[in-house]
Amino acid sequence: MGIPDDDALRIGRWCAEQEDPALRDQLRIECEIADRHVTIYENRPPWDGQGDWARSPIARLRLTPATGKWCVDWCDGNSRWREDDSARRTRDVGTLLDHVASDPDSLFWG
């Protein structure tokens, strides 16, 4: 079981909604869809204007196939993913997107 199309579209739209069109040349929020998780990244241009944009992980939404429930992970300083224990597992990925946006524990946006 992969990521349901409806959820993938919802996450992609959410990422686009997090961007300020006036700042698109300075900050982009994008997602990468894998088989059972979606990783959300913050992308910024190189400080000197040379080379590729820098990509920093913000959150990873994981789907458990057996239960059909989503959970959300944050990336620690050692680039390891840790489950956010303050966010309950849910079948509604929008609930977790709201949690990432509000970031009550400052795990995602710093």
Q: What mean pLDDT is predicted for residues 72-99?
A: 97
| pTM reported for the whole predicted model | 0.92
Reported as type and span, the H/E element at residue 17 is helix 5-17
CA distance 73 to 62: 8
Residue 62: which of 93, 86, 85, 41 has the closest Cα? 93
> What confidence tens digit (pLDDT) does each residue in 36-57 have?
999 999 999 998 888 899 999 9
